[in-house]
Amino acid sequence: MSPAQIALLPGDGIGPEVTAAARRVLEQIGATSGLELELEEALIGGAATDAAGDSLPAETLELCRRCDAVFLGAVGGPRWANLEGAQSPEQGLLRLRRELGLFANLRPVPVFPALIPAAPIKPELLEGVDILVVRELTGGIYFGPRQEADAEGQATDTMVYSASEVERIAHVAFRAAAGRRARVTSVDKANVLATSRLWRATVDKVALEYQDIELQHLYVDACAMQILRSPAEFDVILTGNLFGDILSDEASMLAGSLGVLPSASMAEGTFGMFEPVHGSAPDLAGQGVANPLGAILSAAMLLRHSLDLEAEALAVEAAVAATLDEGLTTPDLATSGSGGATTSELTDAIIARID
């Protein structure tokens, strides 16, 4: 069996630190399971702009295309905030998603019992919460035609969706629900937006192929309220690019911190890019306090979705849960009885518990 090839894109800010943690976990899985891994790093984001004048160098894109999966740390920061086009870290990330055909963003929101005190939500509301946000990633307002502000002070962003784009992401959500609690909540703004009316009608059509899956439609404002009022009601949330971006960040508060949450951006088949949901947090870079949990859980998603290693993914997730149960966290999740570990110490503890 040929080695699994994984591209590592550390990026900016705390990206290199959390990528190093994920790398160590993947190497541990390789050592304990006999899985042969080839891990190769490349530049992206502001670091690539500084070194090559382009936030997504051709060499990086070529590496990603020949690998089985990609792991990304984080991109961006104040140093590059005013750059545009090829030099913008955020535009580089959008280009990478587009070039690799990454259309389905999977954002699980697990609630670890040990972290419930860190969440700004009543503890009784968090019992049994396990949400998967399925976000369409290559369409919508982020990719539609836009016009920067003109002389009259008017700017335009256009939300565009086709039925085929909606069908493709809807199938991902329904298939995911079939392996979970068999419920999909499709989120739109169909009372106002034409694209949302297309979205709703198309999701209804796809749902006919999944008779065992319960489908519910919610407007995005109602969904935002329900996520905080009754989060345990949700199983799979299906939504577009803009709404998914906002709702998944809101849902992160159920888990206690953005630093805990992983994500996968999938193409057709098993190829995907895996990254923690958090940003580059440049104010924390180099201090050894960055939370590696989102990155480590993203590595578990890589094992599951791109390498078909379910047992190994479960082993990583169980090690994270066991470590948290013993009260070990980084300072961002510190409560009266836990916290204070460095990035490296928390990673060490998790690796020691991987069985």
Residues assigned a catalytic role? 142, 189, 221, 245, 249
- Pairing, β 130-136 against β 104-110: antiparallel
Instruction: Write the DSSP symbol of residue 258.
Output: G
Please give the backbone phi and psi of residue 210, each rounded to the nearest 5 degrees, phi first.
-130, 70
Decide: helix, strand or coil at residue 47. Answer: helix
End-to-end, the C-alpha distance of the chain in Å comes to 23
Yes or no: say if 116 and 128 are a contact pair by the CB < 8 Å rule: no
Distance in angstroms (rounded) separating the CA atoms of residues 85 and 333: 36
Cα distance between residue 209 and residue 2, in whole Å: 37
- Secondary structure (3-state) at 141: helix
81 Cβ contact partners less than 8 Å away, ≥ 6 residues apart:
none
- In whole angstroms, give the CA distance from residue 322 to residue 337: 16
